[in-house]
Amino acid sequence: MGEEIRLTVNGEKRVAHAAQNTPLIYVLRNELGLKGTRLGCGANQCGACHVLIDGQSVASCDTPLWAAADKNVVTIEGLGTPAHAHRLQRAFIAEQAGQCGYCLSGIIISAEALLARTPDPTEDEVRAALDRHLCRCGTHNRAVRAVLRAAKDAA
Amino acid sequence: MSAPKKDAPDARLPGNLQGNRKLSQWLRIASAGTVTVTPGKVEIGQGILTALAQIAADELEVNFGRIRLVPAATPASPNEGVTSGSLSIQDSGTALRYACAEARAVYLAEAAAELGVDADSLKVDDGTISAPNGRYTSYWALADDALLDREATGSVAPKPASAHRIVGQSIARVDLPNKIYGLPSFIQDLALPGMLYGQVVRPASRAARLVSVDDTPVTAMAGVLRVVRDGSFLGVLAEHEELAAKAAQMLAAGAKWEERDTLPDAGNVQSWLRAAPRETKVIVDRVAEAAPVRTLSASYTRPFTAHASIGPSCALAQWQGQDSVRVWTHSQGVYNLRTDLALTLGLAHEAIVVRHVEGAGCYGHNPADDVALDAVLLARDAGGRPVRVLWSREDELGWEPHGPAMAIDVSAGIDASGNVVQWTLENYSNGHTTRPGRAATPALLAAGHLAKPFEMPIAINPPAPPGGSERNAAPLYEFAGCRVVCHRVLDMPLRVSALRSLGGLANVFAIESFMDELAHAASADPVDYRLRHLVDPRGRSVVEAAALRANWRAWEKAEGRGHGIGFARYKNLGAYCAVVAEVEAAREIRVRRLVIAADVGLVVNPDGVANQIEGGAIQAASQTLKEAVRFDRRRVVSDTWETYPILRFSEVPEVVVEIVNRPDQPSVGAGEAAAGPTAAAIGNAVFHALGVRVRDLPITPEHIVAAMG
């Protein structure tokens, strides 16, 4: 504990005070108060905790803090807010793409990474991009429709 | 309309108004222009709060946006038991509908007195109450808690379906936006001032007893508050979440357990089920007059199955001194949990306050209640600080109360044209519930690990109908002779409890697979064969609707492709559902499409129903194709997503849902209706594709190969 690691989170420069090996998710949720990134397995197997690090969608439960040092981290809160919604958030609401919603942050983050590299994806490309994400409620098809809808909403 | 008359106080009231008779338990009208609705049912990702708000808004004639929902908590909320069994719309929705209709009448009587007109002449528009003479008032102007501080009479009829304006609309879920914006939404996100993080070290195996533990390296760690031990219950309290996890790992490494074999042979669960001591119930026994010309029989099985929530179970607890404790939980039944906490702790119910906070989807009785006891036990040593406990993924998949394994024998005596004359179904299963609050001893995991342990109650079946093992064990088809026998296994080596649809999935899988086998034996089309035996018009409608929508009759069979149908009325009392599955068989089975027709009576929220039906079908497809809890003689070994895989985005089929609206029929729940029909439709489609009848779930390549032999 107590080491200082600098990183940029949702556009703001932050200093984390934690051991270098602390999984990033604990720093985001408990030190920086960003509860939108959710812990599902702690082993990079379910996708619930994904965040963007320099544009790559990665599991924050399996990323040590040092690996995010001086990097650009974007969490679900960094995509948009109720007042300034991101197109993916608008699309997920429009498609009512969720039931319990626990998996959604990770899914939306991976969808954002996909749209950044493939602005107009096919349905198969969306499914492939989201394949690391588990959803137990069975809202997969709604999520896929939401991503395709967001792709058409270039704003 | 006049003010409600007071009936005899013991008159039976509609839905869960019975037992929670005060109007003020259900709703409150505020001068600020809002209506606060306080149901005892809880949001578990199924959208129930949105649907209940729709019902309240419609009955009161206020805009949807005026409704506020308060999550359930003891002791103020109505005690609505457990949020389970697809009963919330039926029981809570009905109660709320009557409570709001009556509240409206109470307020109209007040308005009539104030405006000097007859209550029947008043009109309500978004809470404004106006008289023909042009005078008006409003709920908000009249708002007075004393008005609803009275018992319901149930004498004010709710609006007919034709007068619904908000019920029947696909109103967007009230809880979804916060989840999509990543705002704190779940119990896992709740942080209380001064909160400690607790982690439990579960026993090394199911019957393991803690012999000793070397906790010196752990207690020496900076930030570790203390190690808690009570018999074989072992845990740690720390200032940080990652530290608690790390300390628990070290503690586990320093713990010595005495272990023994207690689990059945995983390769032969069916033999164990059939040989174990049991209690037998004959639920249908009708002998046909005509004698069959031939008898066919088959046996079907389902493995132990996990709830497998994506969010690990979580709870918070905080003690005030030694004699009262507050608990935050995602339990499906706050009162039931309170009962079992009181039993475990030796406290009065009133000493425990249990508040519901949303968790991830639970799909039945998952460890939500167990983790609440963990938090309470660890918090007892926290010096009054709140303690948050989050289960590990391994504990979640390994120690949850799993859905019971089942073995089902079916036989049918048929006549010369292949129609069923005499049907027999016999199933073997543990009971399907160990939910808290129902037994003499607590049903919470850690209660069995204490120095003075409580014996875990053996799983029972809820009363039939609908029952647990009995659920959907009796076919809805008209068979002249029918015998249905349910054997409840009385040993419970692997702890089990309610998993979405309980016995319904396996029973319907057996019935509908066997109906397909009989159709095949009769050289009949599977849809036609079902319709020959199905009289219930609502049942026939969904079978025909699904077949039509799936283009059943014109569907072109190709090498390695097949389609199949499955049908049931959930619990034989609830929603009707028919599913057509289209599959492709390559190295493994891929379900390409599910076409579903469902009749849930009056639809409160069409998109909500479609979402529940589709989600239930996808989850059932996952169970049908992939899922089985694996274990050795001591412990569950399928405790990661690699060892307990579920269906992924690339494997999820297209799902088409057609809702057959029946505004004249009572609303029934949608969440579990698709489970059995989906499993059966997939099995039948696999047979159509490959000519192989797979009778053991899940339908994996291994089981297909075994079925070929």
Among A77, A106, A125, identify where a domain stops: A77
Residue B93's contacts (CB-CB under 8 Å, 6 or more residues apart) are B15, B51, B52, B55, B604, B667
Mutation site, B310, B371, B593, B657, interface A, largest A CB count within 10 A? B310
Chain A positions in Cβ-Cβ contact with residue B612 (cut-off 8 Å): 99
**pLDDT of res. A2:** 63
Q: Do B175 and A101 touch (CB under 8 A)?
A: yes
Single out the residue of A86, A92, A142 nearest to residue A116, CA to CA.
A86
What CATH code is assigned to B187-259+313-391? 3.30.365.10
The alpha-carbon gap from A104 to the nearest alpha carbon of chain B, in Å, equals 6
Could you please state the CATH topology (level 3) that the domain comprising B406-432+467-708 is classified under: Aldehyde Oxidoreductase; domain 4 (3.30.365)
Q: How far apart are CA B319 and CA B228, in angstroms?
A: 15
Give how far Cα B31 sits from Cα of B124, B139, B394, Å: 16, 8, 50
Q: How far apart are CA B101 and CA B545, in angstroms?
A: 35
The alpha-carbon gap from B562 to the nearest alpha carbon of chain A, in Å, equals 22
Domain enclosing residue A9, as ranges: 4-77
Minimal-distance CA residue of chain B relative to A94: B172
Q: How far apart are CA A16 and CA A11, in angstroms?
A: 15
Whether the CB-CB separation of B327 and B317 falls below 8 Å is answered with: yes
Shared domain for A102 and A64, answered yes or no, is: no
Q: Do B650 and A77 touch (CB under 8 A)?
A: no
**pLDDT of res. B102:** 97
Give the 3-state secondary structure of B441-496. Answer: CCCCHHHHCCCCCCCCCCCECCCCCCCCCCCCCCCCCCCCEEEEEEEEECCCCCCE
Shared domain for A103 and A64, answered yes or no, is: no
The alpha-carbon gap from A70 to the nearest alpha carbon of chain B, in Å, equals 22
Q: Does B415 touch chain A (CB under 8 A)?
A: no
Shared domain for A102 and A68, answered yes or no, is: no
Chain A contacts in chain B segment 577-616 (CB below 8 A): 607, 611-612, 614-616
**pLDDT of res. A155:** 54
Among the partner-chain residues B180, B361, B640, the one whose CB lies closest to the CB of A89 is B180
- Is A112 domain-assigned? yes
Long-range CB contacts for residues A59-64, cutoff 8 Å, separation at least 24? A60/A23, A60/A24, A60/A25, A60/A28, A61/A23, A61/A24, A61/A25, A62/A23, A63/A23, A63/A24, A63/A25, A64/A20, A64/A21, A64/A22, A64/A23, A64/A24
Where exactly does CATH 3.30.365.10 map onto chain B? 15-179, 187-259+313-391, 406-432+467-708
Residue B71's contacts (CB-CB under 8 Å, 6 or more residues apart) are B42, B43, B355, B356, B357, B358
Determine the average pLDDT of the residues in A95-120: 98
**pLDDT of res. B167:** 95
Q: What are the backbone dihedrals phi and psi of residue B577, each rounded to the nearest 5 degrees, phi first?
A: -150, 130
Neighbours of B97 (CB within 10 A): 24
Which residues in chain B show pLDDT less than 70? 1-10
Q: How far apart are CA B255 and CA B202, in angstroms?
A: 10
Q: Does B283 touch chain A (CB under 8 A)?
A: no
Is the reported ipTM for this assembly greater than 0.85? yes
Q: How far apart are CA B305 and CA B628, in angstroms?
A: 5
Single out the residue of A46, A40, A103, A49 nearest to residue A75, CA to CA.
A49
Q: Do B179 and A82 touch (CB under 8 A)?
A: no
Integer distance in angstroms from the first to the last C-alpha of chain B? 72
Q: On the CB side of B1, how many CA atoms lie within 13 Å of its CA?
A: 24
Task: Give me the DSSP letters along B401-430.
Answer: -BBPPEEEEEEEEE-TTS-EEEEEEEEEEE
Shared domain for A48 and A111, answered yes or no, is: no
For the segment B301-317, what is each residue's pLDDT rounded down to a tens digit?
999 999 999 999 999 99
**pLDDT of res. B3:** 46
Whether the CB-CB separation of B667 and B90 falls below 8 Å is answered with: yes
Single out the residue of B312, B268, B263 nearest to residue B495, CA to CA.
B263
Strands B233-238 vs B294-302: parallel, antiparallel or unpaired: unpaired
Q: How far apart are CA B604 and CA B662, in angstroms?
A: 11
**pLDDT of res. B10:** 58
Q: How far apart are CA A59 and CA B621, in angstroms?
A: 27
**pLDDT of res. B461:** 98
Mutation site, A30, A74, A99, A104, interface B, largest B CB count within 10 A? A99
Among the partner-chain residues A42, A82, A102, the one whose CB lies closest to the CB of B181 is A82
Q: Do A39 and B390 touch (CB under 8 A)?
A: yes
Shared domain for A92 and A148, answered yes or no, is: yes
Token digits of residue B340:
């079992």
Q: How far apart are CA B42 and CA A146, in angstroms?
A: 27
Q: Do B173 and A98 touch (CB under 8 A)?
A: yes
Gyration radius from chain A CA atoms: 15
Among the partner-chain residues B189, B242, B655, the one whose CB lies closest to the CB of A23 is B242
Q: Which residues of A94-111 are buried (b: 16+ CB within 10 A; e: fewer)?
A: ebbbbbbbbbbbbbbbbb
Shared domain for A67 and A107, answered yes or no, is: no
Please give the tally of structural domains in chain A. Answer: 2
Q: Do A93 and B172 touch (CB under 8 A)?
A: yes
**pLDDT of res. B343:** 98
**pLDDT of res. B46:** 87
- Is A82 domain-assigned? no
**pLDDT of res. B700:** 98
In B535-604 the beta strands, taken as DSSP E runs, fall at 561-569, 576-585, 589-599
Shared domain for A64 and A94, answered yes or no, is: no
Residue type, B45: G
CATH of the domain at A32: 3.10.20.30
Chain A contacts in chain B segment 616-655 (CB below 8 A): 616-619, 622, 640-642, 646, 648-650, 652, 654-655
- Is A98 domain-assigned? yes
Whether the CB-CB separation of B453 and B394 falls below 8 Å is answered with: no
Whether the CB-CB separation of B578 and B526 falls below 8 Å is answered with: no
- Is A22 domain-assigned? yes
Shared domain for A115 and A67, answered yes or no, is: no
Q: How far apart are CA B258 and CA B203, in angstroms?
A: 10
Among the partner-chain residues A37, A134, A138, the one whose CB lies closest to the CB of B617 is A138
Q: How far apart are CA A115 and CA A76, in angstroms?
A: 15
Shared domain for A34 and A62, answered yes or no, is: yes
Residue B659's contacts (CB-CB under 8 Å, 6 or more residues apart) are B597, B598, B599, B600, B603, B606, B609, B610, B613
Q: Do B181 and A142 touch (CB under 8 A)?
A: no
β partners of residue B300: B408
Q: How far apart are CA B695 and CA B682, in angstroms?
A: 11
**pLDDT of res. B5:** 46
Could you please state the CATH topology (level 3) that the domain comprising B15-179 is classified under: Aldehyde Oxidoreductase; domain 4 (3.30.365)
CATH of the domain at A92: 1.10.150.120
The alpha-carbon gap from B641 to the nearest alpha carbon of chain A, in Å, equals 6
Single out the residue of B43, B14, B169 nearest to residue B609, CA to CA.
B169
- Is A56 domain-assigned? yes
Shared domain for A9 and A70, answered yes or no, is: yes
Chain A positions in Cβ-Cβ contact with residue B312 (cut-off 8 Å): 39-41
